[in-house]
Structure 1
Amino acid sequence: MNPVGKSCLIITGEKSGEEHALSFFKELRFNSPDTKFFGVGGEDLKSAGLELLYNLKDFSSWGYSEVIFKIPFYIKAMNHILDEVEKRNCKVAILVDYQSFNLKLAGKLKARGVEVLYYVAPQAWAWKEYRVKKLSAYVNTLFTIIPFEKKWFHNRGVKKVVSIDHPLWTTYEKELKSFSSTFFVPGNKKPMRLLLLPGSRQFEVALLLPEFIKSILLLQKEFPLEVSIVKSSGVSENLYESYNQYFDKIYTNEDLVIALKSTDFALASSGTVTLTCALFEVPTVVCYKTSLLNQFIFEAVVRYKWFISLANIVQNRTVFPELLQDEVSSYNIVSHLKFWCNNERDYRELKEQLKLTKKLVRGEGIDVPQYLANVINYSYGKKLDTFS
């Protein structure tokens, strides 16, 4: 505990949020060495120096129906976090994504005089646009990572909006600058290298992995295959073990870049990983499957009807095919893969489209760790002329 010194709250409620935070956290600690950081994160943030009040595994839920059953836990956790904020005289909070919890927390932090920085704007342009009013009222600085977002939020009353490099660019910049894409050529006796990315949550892996395996069995009838999978540390090994016989290579989350550099195609759950696939120019079939109740709620509240994957949202067009719910079948998955293999012109056009992703994920050139360190120093009375 640090009741008299500088402290900063960081909240990430999901693995993707932790990855976003990791893109700035280590350098932030270096830039602000006398600040104690505490909050919610995973093992990676803990190893990097974040004092955990809760592990993000405690916050994990998949879909709307699961969230309902965890409401008592969320209320208890929020009250505990607020108590710690007061005990530590915390004056700055960095809330990373996870809008269902963080927007409520932002209001309570603002009421306590805490400077609230919201890192990665919620997709209010897609659903629940009323959240913009809360962002305007509770958040001092909103960071955006999708090209059109800064103008969209600013036009709706959010005063301080900063467009930054997408955290994935920050994380993988070195690898991306030295990366050279490869092309799959069917019929050259080399196996098709296929990477499975079934997700980071128990529920989605349980729904998607069986269809991915069926797809492998279909593909094997026409192509020699080398199948790899990235296993999530947040998913029980029991979900994977009955399928291990199908995998030639097994990677962990930490080896994602190695896996992407070593594959021709990918099958992926919707989400952040689809943008990573696009950055490394891997043609990907995106799949989304959830319970019927979650799907009903999703369709009732979402206005943004076009895309579910970040790869497509960033480019605002269909780059990767998206399969939703009943569309997620081995037949449909294999059809898309075979299309790329049998239509060289379309395949090469896709690879060219993916190159554009690197340009679109760049922001205004803000040094995020230094910006955050300046806010902390400013809030504790040490004004720096580099803060803006």
Structure 2
Amino acid sequence: MKSCLLIAGEKSGEEHGLSFFSQLRNLQPDVKFFGVGGDELEREGLELIYHLKDFSTWGISEAIKKIPYYYKALKRIEDEVERRGCKTAILIDYQTFNLKLARRLEKKGVKILYYVAPQAWAWKEWRAKVLEKCVDTLFCIIPFEKKWFMDRGVSKAISIRHPLLDHYEEDLKGFFRQKKDLEKDEVNLLLLPGSRNFEVFGLLPNYVSVAKKLKEKFNVKVSIVKSSSVSVHGYEPYAKVFDKEYTNDELTVALKEADICLAASGTVTLACALYEVPTIVGYTGSLLNEYIFYQFVKYKGFISLANIVHNKEVFPELVTPYVTEYNILKRALRLFENHEHYNEVMDTLATTVKTISGEDISIPEYMSKKISESYEK
């Protein structure tokens, strides 16, 4: 029986897989799909060799303890591929594990389709060499990645629509962002200080101070999206500052009503770009993360997803220790008082959907063709 391996070793990978798996199965009804995934992929017809929960770890120490388990899993999957005569493997994200697996499977002549390119342009550039040697097709969600990887020898790279667009596309239908005169109009300033305690405790005090200064000078209303995963003590001291509060589930409502935003770095910055909200981005990490970043990461480019996909600074970025009231306020005032700059930002944000829409290609049909070709040889 024809078979195809699929590896989605974490929840985000399963969500990526669900975007194409059902249609792929319909196109290849005679192919048995097996591998690693979660409950949803199993319901769609994936035979689980491992459940993605088997691969989850919390913290560095647990990950180290689990290394022997991962190597046993690599060997078992490799043996299953050989036993089933599998010719194609779809490896979704989960870079550390999947790159090791790709090396092993390539030696057995398995065609590797790698879905969601690792950010080798940011750190561990050597991964591009592994992909060059092992991968038949690399699927990229950041627009510039296709050229970056192909310039480094990857034979085939495809630019695909960013998964976040799938999440917001329906809500964005019919949405139109009206430009404002921030100096004269009423302005809704939205605070998005993050979903982790260290982010909120690190960013919110300065964000609130800036909000107060802006309220003194302009007609500003202040709103905030509060995360249920953050201690209430992170928000309580500033309760009187907020004119409106939103929950996590109300993020899209908050973004539609916002005119300018102060946000923590993360995927939310791309959501801000999709809803065309000029944003100032702050990054504060745990002490361990900051140490690792400054000691080992050579990447000196953009940190916010919105700037990365546009490949230029659309949103000002401030990284610890530069996330100060003075620096944030300076960049906010430029948006309020420099109309030309504000209009340039808004014009760029209006192109975000198009920028991350990817090539006009059907992923299920492309993968189906690759599976069929692998059995024609």
Shift of 1:320: 0.7
Mind listing any 5+ residue stretches in structure 2 that lack a counterpart?
Answer: none
Question: Does 2:198 align with 1:207?
Answer: yes
Residue aligning to 2:301: 306
Amino acid at match of 2:91: L
Question: Does 2:245 align with 1:248?
Answer: yes
Mind listing any 5+ residue stretches in structure 1 that lack a counterpart?
Answer: 200-204, 232-236, 384-388
Residue aligning to 2:340: 345
Shift of 1:300: 4.2
Q: Do the aligned residues in 2 keep the contact of 1:38 with 1:51 (CA within 8 Å)?
A: yes
Q: Do the aligned residues in 2 keep the contact of 1:275 with 1:311 (CA within 8 Å)?
A: yes
Judging changes above 3 Å, is the alpha-carbon distance between structure 1 residues 50 and 193 closer, same or farther for their aligned structure 2 residues? farther
Residue aligning to 1:123: 119
Judging changes above 3 Å, is the alpha-carbon distance between structure 1 residues 25 and 258 closer, same or farther for their aligned structure 2 residues? farther
- Matched ranges for 1:1-388 at <5 A: 6-13=3-10, 15=12, 17-32=13-28, 35-36=32-33, 38-40=35-37, 53-55=50-52, 59=56, 66-67=59-60, 70-80=63-73, 82-84=75-77, 86-87=79-80, 89=84, 90-176=86-172, 178-183=174-179, 186=182, 190=186, 192-196=188-192, 198-199=194-195, 205-215=196-206, 217-218=208-209, 219-220=211-212, 222=215, 223-229=220-226, 231=227, 237=228, 239-243=230-234, 246=239, 248-252=245-249, 256-379=251-374, 381=375
For 2:23 and 2:263, the matched residues in 1 are separated by 30
For 2:253 and 2:370, the matched residues in 1 are separated by 36
Amino acid at match of 1:214: P
For 2:46 and 2:178, the matched residues in 1 are separated by 38
Shift of 1:319: 0.7
Shift of 1:208: 1.0
Alpha-carbon displacement from aligned partner over 1:41-91 (angstroms, at most 9, x marks no partner): 5x7767766666344695366xxxx54651332441353255246447354
How many residues get paired? 360
For 1:299 and 1:190, the matched residues in 2 are separated by 40
Shift of 1:33: 5.2
Shift of 1:281: 1.2
Alpha-carbon displacement from aligned partner over 1:88-107 (angstroms, at most 9, x marks no partner): 73543322333233212221
For 1:49 and 1:270, the matched residues in 2 are separated by 36
Judging changes above 3 Å, is the alpha-carbon distance between structure 1 residues 129 and 150 closer, same or farther for their aligned structure 2 residues? same
Amino acid at match of 1:8: L
For 1:358 and 1:161, the matched residues in 2 are separated by 21
For 1:29 and 1:330, the matched residues in 2 are separated by 53
Alpha-carbon displacement from aligned partner over 1:327-369 (angstroms, at most 9, x marks no partner): 2345544543344234443222211121233333243312112
For 1:263 and 1:47, the matched residues in 2 are separated by 39
For 1:139 and 1:105, the matched residues in 2 are separated by 11
Q: Secondary structure at the match of 1:366?
A: coil
Amino acid at match of 1:260: L
Moved more, 262-271 or 362-371: 262-271
Amino acid at match of 1:251: N
Q: Secondary structure at the match of 1:341?
A: helix
Judging changes above 3 Å, is the alpha-carbon distance between structure 1 residues 282 and 151 closer, same or farther for their aligned structure 2 residues? same
Q: Secondary structure at the match of 2:225?
A: strand
Q: Do the aligned residues in 2 keep the contact of 1:9 with 1:85 (CA within 8 Å)?
A: no
Moved more, 142-151 or 346-355: 142-151
For 1:358 and 1:29, the matched residues in 2 are separated by 29
Q: Do the aligned residues in 1 keep the contact of 2:8 with 2:52 (CA within 8 Å)?
A: no
Q: Do the aligned residues in 2 keep the contact of 1:8 with 1:376 (CA within 8 Å)?
A: no
Shift of 1:134: 0.8
Shift of 1:159: 1.4
Shift of 1:207: 1.7
For 1:365 and 1:56, the matched residues in 2 are separated by 34
Moved more, 43-52 or 98-107: 43-52
Judging changes above 3 Å, is the alpha-carbon distance between structure 1 residues 355 and 50 closer, same or farther for their aligned structure 2 residues? farther
Judging changes above 3 Å, is the alpha-carbon distance between structure 1 residues 168 and 30 closer, same or farther for their aligned structure 2 residues? farther
Alpha-carbon displacement from aligned partner over 1:137-176 (angstroms, at most 9, x marks no partner): 2212112233333233223221122233333345544544
Q: Do the aligned residues in 1 keep the contact of 2:191 with 2:222 (CA within 8 Å)?
A: no
Judging changes above 3 Å, is the alpha-carbon distance between structure 1 residues 188 and 31 closer, same or farther for their aligned structure 2 residues? farther
Over alpha carbons, which structure has the higher Rg? 2
Q: Do the aligned residues in 1 keep the contact of 2:203 with 2:284 (CA within 8 Å)?
A: no
Q: Secondary structure at the match of 1:326?
A: coil
Q: Do the aligned residues in 1 keep the contact of 2:197 with 2:234 (CA within 8 Å)?
A: no
Judging changes above 3 Å, is the alpha-carbon distance between structure 1 residues 256 and 220 closer, same or farther for their aligned structure 2 residues? same
